């Protein structure tokens, strides 16, 4: 399991598997990215983080409040080539990101103002290892209708790891086959599907993809297709 202690001690060059040197952000580049993001913070309103993947079940950072929320204008897509963590250079998988269009339901986490920088630095070390995401301030609608300013990590379509084709026929075999230091790619997908169901949230694309991956595993492996999820 990806833990707070692991992240704090992790050397990003090696902790998640072999990452191409040219893709790695230096600690200084990550800090500059965080500084730039905070400089665009909308006023002095509380900072919320939108969790739509593993942040939902394993956020690692501290939060003062967690609420169901909906993000308009973006949808989940396994559009990032996964070469570390739950994949390798030789057997890449696919990682989740947000692409433009549609909407996404997930969880909103309100960060403690007194520890804002500390918690965001930890989040940046987790999400911005290669700079594949664009930290974006968005209007997020909470379950009671309140609208808050939140940070969402959306896919950078100009990044070398971006993959345009997210059809189930293409990505299901990749997700079913890939694994790395943090576990298998399929475990991630199954954990996401379970978490959405636990919160009464529906994402038809994820549900359909789960069916494709399970079918592929049943046809191509003799072992179990479930397993404990790691994040």
Give yes or no for a contact between 17 and 88, defined as CB atoms under 8 angstroms apart.
Answer: yes
Which of 127, 146, 164, 228 is flagged as catalytic?
127
Q: Is the dihedral of CA 172, 168, 100, 44 positive or negative?
A: negative
Active-site residue flag, 127: yes
Q: How many helices (H) and strands (E) does the chain have?
A: 6, 7
φ/ψ of residue 204, rounded to 5: -60, -35
Q: Tally Cβ neighbours within 10 Å of residue 36.
A: 10
Q: Is 135 helix (H, G, I), strand (E, B) or coil?
A: strand
| Active site (catalytic) residues | 127
């Amino acid at each position: 399991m990806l833990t707070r202690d692991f992240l704090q001690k992790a050397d990003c060059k090696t902790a998640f598997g072999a990452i191409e040197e040219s893709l790695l952000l230096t600690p200084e580049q990550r800090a500059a990215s965080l500084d730039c993001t905070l400089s665009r913070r909308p006023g002095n309103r509380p900072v919320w983080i939108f969790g739509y993947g593993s942040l939902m079940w394993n956020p690692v950072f501290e939060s003062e409040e967690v609420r169901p929320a909906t993000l308009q204008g973006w949808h989940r897509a396994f559009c990032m080539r996964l070469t570390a963590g739950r994949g390798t250079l030789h057997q890449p998988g696919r990682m989740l990101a947000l692409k433009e269009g549609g909407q996404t339901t997930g969880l909103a986490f309100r960060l403690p103002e007194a520890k804002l920088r500390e918690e965001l630095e930890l989040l940046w070390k987790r999400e911005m290892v290669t700079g594949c995401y664009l930290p974006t301030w968005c209007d997020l609608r909470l379950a009671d209708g309140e609208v808050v300013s939140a940070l969402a990590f959306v896919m950078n379509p100009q990044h070398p790891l971006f993959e345009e084709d997210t059809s189930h026929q293409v990505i299901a075999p990749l997700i079913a086959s890939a694994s790395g230091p943090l576990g298998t790619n399929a475990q991630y997908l199954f954990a996401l599907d379970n978490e959405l169901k636990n919160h009464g949230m529906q994402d038809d694309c994820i549900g359909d993809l789960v069916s494709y991956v399970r079918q592929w595993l049943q046809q191509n492996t003799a072992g179990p297709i479930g397993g404990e999820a790691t994040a």
